[in-house]
Structure 1
Amino acid sequence: MIKITDIKTFPVRVENGNQLVIKVETNEKGIYGWGASGLSGRELAVVGAVKHYAHFLTGKDPRKIGALWQEMYRSQYFEGGRVLTAAISAIDIALHDIKGKLLEVPVYELLGGKQRDHIECFASLKFESKEELITKAQKLKEAGFSAIRLYEASEGSAPYVARESIANLTEWLPALRKEMGNAMTIGMDYHHRLTIPETVSFINRMPLGTLDFLEEPIRDENPQVYQELRKMIQVPLAIGEEFASKWQFWPYLKDNITQYARIDVCNVGGLTEAMKVVALAETNYIDVMPHNPLGPICTAATIHMLAASANVAWLEEINTPVEWCGTNSEKFYPVQPVIEGACYKIPDGPGLGVEFNEELASQSEFKIKEVPHLSKKDGSFTNW
């Protein structure tokens, strides 16, 4: 009988950020699975959680994915939380990779089968000025993207002043809409840096139709507060990239607080939990628009999830003509999904369709990287 023999962790620096990749090994020759955690910036905390799970998963049958998910989630009194579910996510994705390889089918065949031939992406666009914003957006349009998601570059070198940001963006975004035309979908990610009155002010200062969605203007711990904000603005909301379970998603889905579910398969609990969130979203006619900011394993797992899902908007993509493009990623991931224009084709090989350079990762030095710690003019801290 096939058994799990080891779970290895590889915290590594890829391009300009850190990633945590895991490998689940088995006693079946040539059969192993790759997974990844999405809890960026706290990779070592997840390494510790994975080691706890490896202690009792070793010797178990990796094909029993649902049962192992339940055992991992319920194997401690203090269940859940972002660190634990990030570890569960990585292991769960790797188990799907293993089972797909064993059965010689793509992972989406384990999730219900293929419903589409390709996945359309929205492009992330980071900017600091009006000129940069419009220039990059034009380049993305020329590359074939029909949806873009904007976010301000805030690296912590100067105080962050929300009102100054609002003043700039309420001038720049209508100009961008005029340049892009009505066919382009334009969203804005405010990275939960605003308050409720600031959010309302931001939206009210622009012509209706400037934005097609607004992503996480405020923090998401309190769904009742978000419900009140939902009543004050007309722009659709995109929320959920920080959610670590179907239970965290539930109030936002059942009350239609969000209009796009920003599932992160590497944080929410892997493919097992992600597919349940997709189904919950479908009951309220909410499309999923997955969070995908880190690396090829997350991209591949998300492609398989979306291939088997009905209610799909776009997949986030950072590997574009204006964002992260480099050779470092290719060295770590010799086999990975390749975007064609603004789309990913659905793969047909067994498992996830990703390979990781374990030898290179073992030789690489891991250095902790902190995201910017933004502060206001008075010295108090705000969200990055």
Structure 2
Amino acid sequence: MKIEKVETFLVPPRWLFCRVETDEGVVGWGEPVVEGRAESVRAAVHTLAEYLLGRDPLRIEDHWQVMATAGFYRGGPVLSSALAGLDQALWDIAGKTYGAPVHALLGGPVRDRVRMYAWVGGDEPGELADSIAARVEAGFTAIKMNAVGRMPARHATQSDVHGVVERVALAREVLGPGRDVAVDFHGRVGAADARRILPLIAAFQPMFAEEPVLPDRPHLLRDVVTASSVPVATGERLYSRWDFRQALEAGVAVVQPDLSHAGGISETRRIAALAEVWDAKLAPHCPLGPIALAASLQVAFATPNFLIQEHSIGIHYEEGAGLLDYVMDAGTFRFTDGYATRSDAPGLGVQIDEAAVRKAGEKGHAWRNPVWRHEDGGLAEW
């Protein structure tokens, strides 16, 4: 069996899919994307595809090594994301060829259900209580919220700090003691403010505090980690096990590689194994489409130190198109009591609606993240 064709599709609302076809008719799907830079990743996918064409798709690890390391310049979000999507597609082909789900090829399942969490916003706290209540009504036992919106200045005022505490207190009140809240700082506060804020929200027992400092400042993480008892999570903007080693050495409790950014299924498995050395848990980042979510679930079912899985169904940016619009059976992502049930469907376990993808690809998108500014006109972290 040989790889015969690699295609890419820019699909709304802000995703990129790739389709890898073999000469025996076996097709694998992947989701390589950097949100806001999808076109750049698309070009990188086709550059890497030059190597794959005509080769055996089942030599996944060898292909990963060549695509990741054979170039003199390597790594970074664009190349790692292009590699990630192609890696997902190769695993999908392997599962379909062997008639087994990817989690079986990774050593077999270690759990029957995967706990999911839902995103509820938090930039604007006015509707936060209703959003959380709706997720609870839908059966979720965990939610994630933004700790802050647009910060008025690089150093938080007393009012800003109080706003964070009020948000988390409100979430805890609605959730009660038997459910979990994760708090996402999105790199919007500085390390000094993170050290001030985390002890103040510790009483509400967050499951974790995500990205309390920017990912390019791992040297600041240890002081933030030791400032409170709140578990610290990071990783959506880290792309390799070497990146994660620094975070783990700093004491983070949860690693959050994104399977569409951090080298796909192959590298995420290695990141999870590395995290075990530091007694850290895996919670893959995934506010993306159906292929990224399917790949994340395959890893979750086969990873002992897995904690919880993010998803984007019903997320705020699904305008005009959503995750379920690109799958043949919406029941693939039906969650019961906040859990995804293990499937033995081959490959990634999701049937992509190719006609819908091709139609959406004709429209495409040019999504860009917003540019935020402080009150003084200086650039603010989004």
Partner residue of 1:269?
A: 263
Separation in 1, partners of 2:370, 2:48: 31
1:267 deviates by 0.8
Tell me the residue number matched to 1:304. Answer: 298
Q: CA deviation at 1:152?
A: 5.9
- Between the aligned partners of 1:286 and 1:239, the Cα distance in structure 2 is 11
For 2:8, the aligned partner's letter is T
Change (3 A) 1:108 1:206: closer
Give TM-score, length-normalised by structure 1: 0.91
**Counterpart of 1:251?**
246
> By how many angstroms is 1:174 displaced?
1.9
Structure 1 range deviating more: 321-330 or 235-244:
321-330
SS at match of 2:369: coil
Cα distance, 1:289 vs structure 2: 0.8
Q: Which residue of 2 aligns with 1:8?
A: 7
**Corresponding residue SS for 2:119:** strand
Local SS of the residue matching 1:48: helix
Aligned residue number for residue 57 of structure 2: 62
Query: 8 Å contact 1:6–1:26 — kept in the other structure?
Result: yes
C-alpha contact 1:256 1:284 (8 A) present in aligned 2: no
Change (3 A) 1:87 1:128: closer
Instruction: Name the counterpart of 2:20.
Output: 24
Cα deviation per residue 1:196-226 (whole Å; 9 max; x = unaligned)?
1211222244462343321002201122211
Per the normalisation by structure 2, the TM-score is 0.92
> Is 1:357 aligned to residue 356 of structure 2?
no
- The correspondence for 2:289, drawn from 275, 292, 295, is 295
What amino acid does structure 2 have at the position aligned with 1:302? S
How far apart are 1:355 and its partner, in Å?
2.8
Amino acid at match of 1:101: K
Instruction: Report the equivalent of 2:110.
Output: 115
Does 1:330 find its partner at 2:324? yes
Query: How many residue pairs are counted as aligned between the two chains?
Result: 376
> For residues 153 and 21 of structure 1, do their structure 2 counterparts lie closer, same or farther at Cα, with a shift above 3 Å needed?
farther
Give CA-to-partner distance per residue, 1:324-381, whole Å, 9 cap, x none.
5987543322246312231111111111122333344334322311111111011111
What are the Cα deviations for residues 128-167 of structure 1, in whole angstroms up to 9, with x where unaligned?
Answer: 554421222222223222211102685x7x9677545433
1:83 CA drift (Å): 0.6
Cα distance between partner residues in 2 of 1:369 and 1:220: 23
User: What is the letter of the counterpart of residue 347 of structure 2?
Assistant: G
The residue number in structure 2 matching 1:381 is: 379
Deviation, 1:176, is: 3.0
For residues 322 and 142 of structure 1, do their structure 2 counterparts lie closer, same or farther at Cα, with a shift above 3 Å needed?
A: farther
Query: Aligned partners of 1:103, 1:79: CA distance in 2, in Å?
Result: 32
Contact 1:126 1:153 in 2 (8 A): no
Cα deviation, 1:47-84, whole Å, max 9, x if unaligned, reads 11111111121011000000000010122110111111
CA–CA separation in structure 2 for the residues paired with 1:145 and 1:99: 33
Aligned amino acid, residue 124 of structure 1:
W
| Unaligned runs of at least 5 residues, structure 2 | none
The RMSD of aligned alpha carbons is 2.3
Distance 2:315 2:89 in 1: 30
Aligned to 2:341: 345
Secondary structure, counterpart of 1:297 in structure 2: helix
Distance 1:357 1:145, change over 3 A: closer
Q: Post-superposition shift, 1:102?
A: 0.6
Supply the AA of the counterpart residue of 1:91: L
280, 284, 297: which one aligns with 1:286 = 280
Per the TM alignment, residue 114 of structure 1 is displaced from its structure 2 partner at its CA by: 1.0
Equivalent residue of 1:54, what SS?
helix
Q: Which shifted more, 318-327 or 342-351?
A: 318-327
Match of residue 201 from structure 1: 196
Inter-partner Cα distance in structure 1 for 2:368 and 2:318? 19
Contact 1:140-1:322 within 8 A present in 2 as well: no
Structure 1 unaligned spans of 5+: none
Farther-moved stretch of structure 1 (39-48 vs 120-129): 120-129
Instruction: Tell me if structure 2 keeps the 8 A contact 1:123–1:149.
Output: yes
SS in 2 for 1:294: coil
Distance 1:46 1:129 in 2: 32
What is the DSSP-based 3-state SS (H/G/I as helix, E as strand, rest coil) of the residue aligned with 1:136?
helix
Partner of 1:94: 89
Distance in 2, matches of 1:128 and 1:282, equals 33
- Identical amino acids, percent of aligned pairs: 29
Equivalent in 78, 99, 108 of residue 83 of structure 1: 78
Secondary structure of 2:297's aligned partner: helix
Is 2:213–2:220's contact at 8 Å kept on the other side of the alignment?
no
Q: Which amino acid aligns with 1:228?
A: D
Q: Secondary structure at the match of 1:94?
A: helix
Counterpart code for 1:77: F
- Work out whether residues 143 and 321 of structure 1, in 8 Å CA contact, stay in contact via their aligned partners in 2: no
Aligned-partner SS, 2:14: strand
